Structure 1
């Protein structure tokens, strides 16, 4: 990573970069019987540049039915800044914590998507580990009887990301 723009301090501080959750976020979930995503997307602002060559950002996280990559949650992280493509399939998250106001989704593995691997002209990268993400957000109850919750914009709400660099050999 060689540059960042419009980012925020990550939570926790051992992550490299954080992104603010935008007001256009319309993600809903239920906490009855465990964390269950229902609909919508989580929208972020900010960009990162890799090797002074490619800048991606203004990320959108949402469900993409029919993803065929093994070991993923069905959620994807899409760049809406420059490439307008899915960059990562999101692995099954680690612990999900909700205290009635704050939602934390930890240890989400970022797996390189087929679309991003093809753009990089390295299709063998598909499904490889690209880093770890964490989502921290403040939430508010949606006025519905089934107690569905929606993520609201908050200054401290962000997607924090750890990127791992690997040397990849051409074969």
Structure 2
């Protein structure tokens, strides 16, 4: 199963808060909880359903997070002195930077807008048991540790890392859909140059009733249109040989007027040849003197 990513699909995360510790250390009390989830056992006070927004992926053997978060619905309300704050729609993620001697790198974040203005509330301690396969993921015997962010907000930074409860994740797992192979078909029309393709396209356009007296009435650049292969996705014009004559980059077959020279002959050579041929037919004026 190594190297094979699996995705959490659904399930429940159960939470047990150590209320005496929270109250004595941080002055927090549990006012109430609102969740439709069923906790794993009576040892836990509340269960939060895992929602479809979850995109947490992992490798099963050995267990390792590969990305995403486990999203939940439901909330709890805590009392802080005379004030109350509601936290919920919790998100469990992994951050390697949060790994310590006691913290696993997993954390619990609050995604509701609340008076504390926090995100990360708890770090998750190293779990005592992880069972993962292609059907289920169970993370159990994991402590809830007060995150430095929450400890700072409570005015007691020394409480960071304090064990204030336990959590357990029981989730179903899905395997990713197999990747479907794609066939790539390349069609090469060899021997049909740009001018020939344009001539055929113009004839086809005329056959279809298009009228025109000059090339500009059809097209003078680009890949053109009118023939079936010119409408294919990814259609392009290419050459199977270089355009330089005799390896000289200053001597290109693309320079000058392609209609006034031999195929494969450079502009400079063609121009000189025409001038020589022209001189042959100039009368020798010296004989008339």
Report 1 or 2 for greater relative contact order, CA contacts < 8 Å, sequence distance ≥ 6: 1
Q: Deviations along 1:52-71, whole A, 9 cap, x unmatched?
A: 72221111111123226542
RMSD over aligned CA atoms reads 1.8
Gap regions ≥5 residues in structure 2:
1-29, 180-289
Gap regions ≥5 residues in structure 1:
146-171
- Contact preservation (8 Å) 1:21, 1:42: yes
Q: Deviations along 1:74-132, whole A, 9 cap, x unmatched?
A: 11110111234110111111111235322110011111011001111111111100110
- Contact preservation (8 Å) 1:47, 1:56: yes
- Judging by fraction of residues, say which structure has more helix: 2
Q: After TM superposition, where is structure 1 displaced by more than 2 Å over at least 4 residues in a row?
A: 67-70
Residue correspondences, number:
144
The separation in 2 between residues aligned to 1:12 and 1:104, in whole angstroms, is: 14
The separation in 2 between residues aligned to 1:50 and 1:112, in whole angstroms, is: 14
The separation in 2 between residues aligned to 1:26 and 1:68, in whole angstroms, is: 21
Q: Does 1:21 align with 2:45?
A: no
The separation in 2 between residues aligned to 1:43 and 1:8, in whole angstroms, is: 13
The separation in 1 between residues aligned to 2:57 and 2:155, in whole angstroms, is: 36
What is the TM-score normalised by the length of structure 1?
A: 0.77
Q: Does 1:86 align with 2:115?
A: no
What is the TM-score normalised by the length of structure 2?
A: 0.47
The separation in 1 between residues aligned to 2:59 and 2:98, in whole angstroms, is: 23
The separation in 2 between residues aligned to 1:68 and 1:141, in whole angstroms, is: 28
Computing the radius of gyration over CA atoms, which structure comes out larger, 1 or 2?
Answer: 2
Q: Does 1:45 align with 2:73?
A: yes
The separation in 2 between residues aligned to 1:144 and 1:114, in whole angstroms, is: 42
The residue correspondences of 1:56-71 to structure 2 (distance < 5 A) are 56-67=87-98, 69-71=100-102
* Corresponding residue SS for 1:115: helix
